[in-house]
Every structure is written in structure tokens, then in C-alpha cells.
């Protein structure tokens, strides 16, 4: 009974393409830049050998920033898909 209602509500989901991957990568890079500026204590805790030296962020800060980047990326990808851009 509710199948038609659910089908109308569920958003159109994109297939994975390199464009989707590049959008997610760009959103994660933006989130890392925001995290580098916005995290109050970015070097507290253990680091990731190469990334911590390059970015100046601890493992927890990198995880937090990239998690935020995935949230942003999901919204951007779904928004662009529903707008018909990708």
C-alpha cells in the first residue's frame, strides 16, 4: 500500500562515476582546509605518519574533517543528481 508513496519520496540516486569520485574528493579537500583553520587543537593526539606531517593535523582531526567532507559530499552529489547536472 505504501510502496507507491515510498517510491515518490525516495530521491534519485546516482551511479558511481569518476565525476562522483572527484566531487567527493573536492569536498573532502575543502573540509580538510576548513578543519585546519577551524579545529581548536589540531595536533592533539597521535598522528598519521605522512598526512599529519603534511597537513599538520592529528589522526582524530583528519578523521573528523574527512567525515565532515563526506557529509558535505553526499549533499552535493545528491543535490547535483536531483538537479540533473550529473
Most confident region among 3-12, 16-25, 46-55 by mean pLDDT = 16-25
Q: Does 2 map to a domain?
A: no
Per the domain annotation, does 30 fall within a domain? Answer: yes
Above 80 in pLDDT, residue 63?
yes
> 580538510: which residue's cell?
32
- Work out how many domains the chain is built from and give that number: 1
> Rounded to 5 degrees, what are φ and ψ at 39?
-80, 130
Is residue 36 domain-resident? yes
DSSP state at residue 42: T
For residue 68, the enclosing domain spans: 13-83
Sorted by sequence, the CB contacts under 8 Å of residue 39 that are 6+ apart come out as 57, 61, 64, 65
Cα gap 27→84, rounded to integer Å: 19
Q: Using an 8 Å Cβ cutoff, are 42 and 58 in contact? A: yes
The answer to whether residue 7 is domain-embedded is no
Instruction: Give pTM, 2 decimals.
Output: 0.78
Residues making up the chain, counted from first to last? 86
For residue 42, the model assigns a pLDDT of 80
In a domain, 6, yes or no: no
Q: Report the range of poorest mean pLDDT among 23-32, 49-58, 62-71.
A: 49-58
Domain assignment of residue 41, yes or no? yes
Q: Is residue 38 part of a domain?
A: yes
Residue 8: its pLDDT value, please? 64
Domain assignment of residue 5, yes or no: no
Amino acid at each position: 500500500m505504501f510502496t507507491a508513496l515510498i517510491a515518490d519520496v525516495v530521491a534519485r540516486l546516482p551511479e558511481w562515476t569518476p565525476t562522483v569520485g572527484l566531487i567527493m574528493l573536492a569536498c573532502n579537500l575543502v573540509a580538510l582546509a576548513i578543519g585546519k583553520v577551524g579545529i581548536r587543537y589540531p595536533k592533539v593526539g597521535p598522528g598519521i605518519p605522512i598526512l599529519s606531517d603534511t597537513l599538520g593535523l592529528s589522526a582524530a582531526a583528519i578523521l573528523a574533517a574527512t567525515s565532515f567532507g563526506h557529509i558535505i559530499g553526499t549533499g552535493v552529489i545528491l543535490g547535483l543528481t536531483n538537479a540533473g547536472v550529473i
